[in-house]
Amino acid sequence: MSEDLGVKRMSDELISGEFKISSISSDTTGSRCTSFSRMSFDLPTSSPEQAADLKPYHRSSSISSQVTRRRSNLSFRDFVMVRQIGRGDIGRVYLCRSRHGADAGRRFAMKVVDNEALSVKKKTQRAETERKILRALNHPFLPSLFAEFEASNFSCVVIEYCSGGDLHSLRHKQPHNRFSPAAARFYAAEVLVALEYLHMMGVIYRDLKPENVLVRDDGHIMLTDFDLSLCADAVPAIESPSSSPGTSRSPNRVSRRSGYLTSPFACVFARFFRSKRIQTTSATRLFVAEPVAARSCSFVGTHEYVSPEVAAGGAHGNAVDWWALGIFLYEMIYGRTPFAGASNEATLRGILKKPLSFPTAAPRCSAESHARNLISGLLQKDPDKRLGSKRGAADIKTHPFFNGLNFALIRSMTPPALPPPPTAARDHKPLPFAGF
């Protein structure tokens, strides 16, 4: 009841323009997190990072144009606020339902950010980065932006609602609080595909963790929370697997920032694999699109998931996402992260100095053996030696852990079975909010 009253008050204040800065708390403790070391942090250094402009490639379908029209027309009054479902450092997330049109009654997630609070905490750029990325995304494992608008001094973004919860919560519902190697492989593969797309767009995610991997109604995943992401440049190219990573890509180079395409394979990038020309390339060729030149000195991430280069306070780039993928896979299979300590400082020391180890001396099956080998490659403390640091997902996809998995058809695969979601009348019955 108190939660419902809080949502009602928040809704009334948004409409009246009286919602205060205190509504967005700097307390980042969330119900889904088991320790402070699992909370995202952002400690900027004196070297600010330069964000490049994203240039999205939108579908020309009627669906895409319909979403664009909705973004410009919808406002806060077009939604019924139901309850709060999440809380972070720069905003709160609410379950809401659309009031009108063909989507009437459809559930969405609305992230509400207090612009004045962001200004006080000097985190306005974080919110703008997230909005910029959301506008550019067009991928089945990433959020679809349904609407964005201003309400009083608040910025609101509306995305699809994932009723399956997040992988952190789902892991705790599994036997021994861990997923089977098969289930872990499925989720890691979908996360890998999502990261590949982000890197292709020049986006380094920087906050991968189970709490940020949501599960849709159909069991497939959706990455969320992009306020810590870094926008950079990606240079897509077609390479031979036998070529040395990091060699010149000039014969097949495509420049994102320049705005023109200079490669016979340019259609691969510009149309995101939809061109028929890709059918003429050899099946052994690798599509590589990594922001390898990106660098930032900001101390951001989640303590248990940050890479050694971040923990050491140095510059970092695209390799931080592949380190985080290794931590993610380890936690999915073993129920904990490999370097977690009694405090944040102990965790960072472990990341820097503790060698990687596994709970048992020998793997239980061949799938786990392949998983350990992949994890070891991803958790190389030297980012230059880390699997994926040069050619990204193109190298990781070929690892034996993913043998037999068709990444092109992964969206059609049957996901692991999910526990039935709890039924709550408040998710289906509108609350009697005053002022609506």
Return the active site residues: 207
Residue among 393, 394, 399 at smallest CA distance from 370 = 399
For 160, the 3-state DSSP assignment is strand
Residue among 265, 271, 270 at smallest CA distance from 287 = 265
Q: Residue 316 corresponds to which tokens in the numbers above?
A: 């970092």
Amino acid at residue number 249:
R
Q: Which helix (H) or strand (E) holds 172?
A: none
Q: Residue 141 corresponds to which tokens in the numbers above?
A: 């494992």
Question: What is the distance between the alpha carbons of residues 161 and 110, in angstroms, rounded to a whole number?
Answer: 9
CB 83 within 8 A of CB 4: yes
Q: Which helix (H) or strand (E) holds 127?
A: helix 124-136
Angle, CA 298 vertex, CA 294 and CA 302 arms, to 5°: 105
Question: What is the distance between the alpha carbons of residues 165 and 66, in angstroms, rounded to a whole number?
Answer: 28
Taking each helix axis from N to C end, the angle separating 366-378 and 181-200, rounded to the nearest 10 degrees, works out to: 30
Burial label for 33, CB within 10 Å (0-12, 13-18, 19+), is middle
- DSSP 8-state class, residue 316: B
CB 232 within 8 A of CB 293: yes
For 85, the 3-state DSSP assignment is strand
Alpha carbon 21 to its chain's center: 27
Question: What is the distance between the alpha carbons of residues 142 and 223, in angstroms, rounded to a whole number?
Answer: 5
Question: What is the distance between the alpha carbons of residues 83 and 190, in angstroms, rounded to a whole number?
Answer: 29
CB 235 within 8 A of CB 253: yes
Residue among 213, 1, 4 at smallest CA distance from 94 = 4
Residue 42, beta-bridge partner list: 300
Strand bridging mode 221-223 / 213-215: antiparallel
Q: Is the dihedral of CA 113, 116, 120, 126 positive or negative?
A: positive
